[in-house]
Amino acid sequence: MRRIMASSLLAVALAACSASDSEPAAQASDAATTWPGVPEEQAAQIRAVGQVIDPASFAIFAGLVPGPPYADVTLTEDLAYGTDPQQKLDVYTLNAAPQGEARPVLLYVHGGGFTEGSKQGDYYPQSATAWAARNGMVGVNIDYRLAPAAKWPAARDDLSAAIQWVRANIARHGGDPERIFLWGHSAGAVHVADYVQHTELQGPEAASVKGALLLSPIYQSAAGEQPHAYYGTDAALQTAAPAIQRLGASRIPLLLGWAEFDPEMFHVFARSVTDRLCVEGSGLNCPTTLYLRNHNHMTEGASIGSADESLSGPFLQWMRGL
């Protein structure tokens, strides 16, 4: 397993090792890189809030990340990738991008507990796709059908349809249809993980997916007493052990990230993934891991595009290495 730990002005290494704790230890290697971490003012606020999932945390980084409209990025909104009103996507392109250049595509899937969320907020998740456009990519941000009206596998199917749309249409926006990276956060990371792991449902579009960032995904150890809003009562779909087994059999490279101040269940899932998939000699799809110090469940993604490069720096390095 390649492991990355990001922290303020810390030399971070890509190293082969196993993971059994919540806080991976950086180890020396020829690939050591330094990225600036969370500014102390923001870090203090995050530490004070603690292990929460609270949209109010977005405000901690809002002043450090430019929001729309963007002077340097063109946003093409609400392109249909299906017939449902929620099957819409936005495309972000850098105005100064060289003409005729085919750039990788970053396709972002928002979170929201399976029942909420949108591709457009006050600044996030739009900042993620604007950041992609500024860093040599074309950004694509999707909406998808939400639970409880939409049940499994609706969101997985929507992601598949969005990838198919990118393959068919992104060239006219300067994107490379054969080099697509997925990024999902929270429930969005679960939808991306579902797409990656259910290889039996993938079509030819999957050949264009070169990697996937799962930022704070969560599958519980056991199904709850009440039906899940999206998965219903099928434990094989919503619990950790079968999901991890399927991820281990997939071919798509994974970057698994989680935050120091994520609730404990996210740490438990990350440990379970690495303990199961990163055993030496197993031949399973062991993810690269990224432990984000001084971040919580909301700020880890909201920091993208700010002076804090604890996510953006390792993420770019990982993508460019694939």
In 64-136, beta strands by DSSP E:
73-80, 88-94, 103-109
Q: What is the dihedral of CA 109, 127, 244, 282, to 10 degrees?
A: 130
d(CA 209, CA 177): 9
Contact 176, 104 (CB under 8 A): yes
pTM of the predicted model, to two decimals? 0.93
Number of Cα atoms under 13 Å in the Cβ half of residue 219 = 26
d(CA 198, CA 191): 11
**Segment 217-237, tens digit of pLDDT:** 999 999 999 999 999 999 999
Cβ neighbour number for residue 79 with a 10 Å cutoff: 16
Task: Please say if the pLDDT value at position 242 is more than 80.
Answer: yes
Average pLDDT of the residues of the chain: 91
Q: Is the peptide bond before 125 cis (omega within 30 degrees of 0)?
A: yes
What percentage of the chain carries pLDDT values higher than 90? 88
d(CA 100, CA 45): 44
Q: At which residue do the structure tokens 């929507």 appear?
A: 158
The pLDDT, as a whole number, for residue 160 is 98
Average pLDDT over residues 232-246: 98
Phi, psi of 258 (to 5 degrees): -155, 160
**Segment 93-146, tens digit of pLDDT:** 999 999 999 999 999 999 999 999 999 988 999 999 999 999 999 999 999 999
Average pLDDT over residues 49-64: 95
Average pLDDT over residues 302-318: 97
**Segment 255-280, tens digit of pLDDT:** 999 999 999 999 999 999 999 999 99
Phi, psi of 263 (to 5 degrees): -55, 155
d(CA 140, CA 138): 7
Average pLDDT over residues 295-312: 97
What percentage of the chain carries pLDDT values higher than 70? 90
Task: Please say if the pLDDT value at position 14 is more than 50.
Answer: no
Task: Please say if the pLDDT value at position 16 is more than 80.
Answer: no
The pLDDT, as a whole number, for residue 2 is 60
Instruction: List the one residue out of 121, 109, 126 whose CA is nearest residue 75.
Output: 126
CA distance readout (Å), 89 to 29, 80, 92, 183, 310: 40, 6, 10, 14, 27
Compute the C-alpha angle 82/204/197, nearest 5°.
90
Q: How confident is the model at residue 33 (pLDDT cuts 50, 70, 90)?
A: confident
Task: Please say if the pLDDT value at position 166 is more than 70.
Answer: yes
The pLDDT, as a whole number, for residue 23 is 54
Residues linked to residue 261 through DSSP beta bridges, in sequence order:
296
- Over 229-292, what HEC string results? CCCECCHHHHEHHHHHHHHHHCCCCEEEEEEEECCHHHHHHHHHHHHHHCCCCCCCCCCEEEEE
CATH code of the region 2-20+33-223+235-320: 3.40.50.1820
- Poorest-confidence range of 19-23, 143-147, 191-195? 19-23
Q: Which residue has the higher pLDDT, 2 or 161?
A: 161
Phi, psi of 164 (to 5 degrees): -60, -40
CA distance readout (Å), 136 to 139, 265, 288: 10, 35, 22
